[in-house]
Structure 1
Amino acid sequence: MRVTFSICVRERYTDDDGGDQVRFGVAVTTRLPGVGTLCPFASSDGAVATQSLVNVDLGRKGIEYLGDGVAVDDALEALLNADDGKRKRQLHGVDADGTFAFSGEECNDWYGHVVGENYTVAGNLLTGESVIDDTAAAYESDAHGEAPLAERLIDALAAGHEAGGDRREDLTVQSAALLVCTTADDETDAPYYNDLRVDATETPIADLRETYETAKRGYETVLEKYADESDAE
């Protein structure tokens, strides 16, 4: 499966108790179904996206290596060096301190990547370089916005999609996904909208946004309901 374009980000923030935390996010879309099962990986240690001619082990093992304390550049470079299909892979990601992005020379045009201070964007089979440039610019323009990271990741994908996205217009069944994790210890009340997938649709960005908005509304309803019950007790 050849996966198209994605973004990985790292953001530092202060939680409600004044503690320093880091959140990691990854989002992806392609003109094929089920991208959420193959490309995006995240944990409290970082975010990784594996694409072009996908090797899912690069994502799975990449996250495992980050959990073992290996720096993202060392972890992903080591995995690529052991991969016979390296020339056809794209692999990128972030951890608490670093970034990494790789595009093999046998990826399909247009392909490439950009690396920012706290993010990476990569894509292949694109209409042009503007897809990843606009994805990166959209994220950068609102990197410190008040909206949840999941929402801002969708905005970034939307910008790349608007710039042309995947060039395979003959493939109408598409998909999109996002995943957000944090270093916060207490994940009991983790938002339901931080792990979302749209597996088969002709309008992946619009459907991912609608899924996000519905999940966010449901999450807020649950918080309100249980807050009321707690007050009653």
Structure 2
Amino acid sequence: MKKVLFVLPSHDKLGDTGQKTGYWLEEFASPYYEFVDNGYDVVIASPKGGKPPVDPKSLQPENQSESTKRLQNDLVVKQQLENTLILNEISDGEYDTLFLPGGHGPMWDLSQDKDLKRIVESFYNNKKIISAVCHGPAGLLQATDYNGNSILKDKRVTGFTNDEEHTVKLDKTVPFLLEDKMKELGGNFEKTENFKPFIVTDGQIITGQNPASSLLAARRVVEVLK
């Protein structure tokens, strides 16, 4: 049985807005069930362990899907989400692939977490598939290869775009713009229309642009690892 490690944020404050953030439910739910339905063992971790915060906006009716509705009645995944493992206890050698869902939370903690840096670099250096969607690629920004270069350098990548951030009116709230940061690190950033499904594969790195891209990214991982 193949094993996939999901990493969710522990950060729950949306900058100085007084609002809450976290991971985006659909970006977790659809990939989760894509892996489970294909026979994967899914393990969930977060920087602080325990119950990671979910973005309240992702719970609104207009943001629900078949997968999020399925999750509501799934006691197994609910139990997992109440008791995620602590990142610093993760032995990355146990896993076949890594998946980073988005939501704005990763922009604050996963972008700086040293345990995630260690894990991403280990996956990368051991030629394992790494996938991240929407703001999830923030968790890849610190990682470097054996030569000290960003793992994104000269790679075709995507993520939540500057224009999408502007559209949701959070471009002045986030600590940085993900598209700009990925370009600064040498990534060859690609994108499509706002909020349309779009994924990019370059070697072992698979990235998705936005929430609508999360299922496609997970499907690509499953295809690659067959």
**TM-score between the two structures when normalised by the length of structure 1:** 0.32
Higher Rg of the two aligned structures: 1
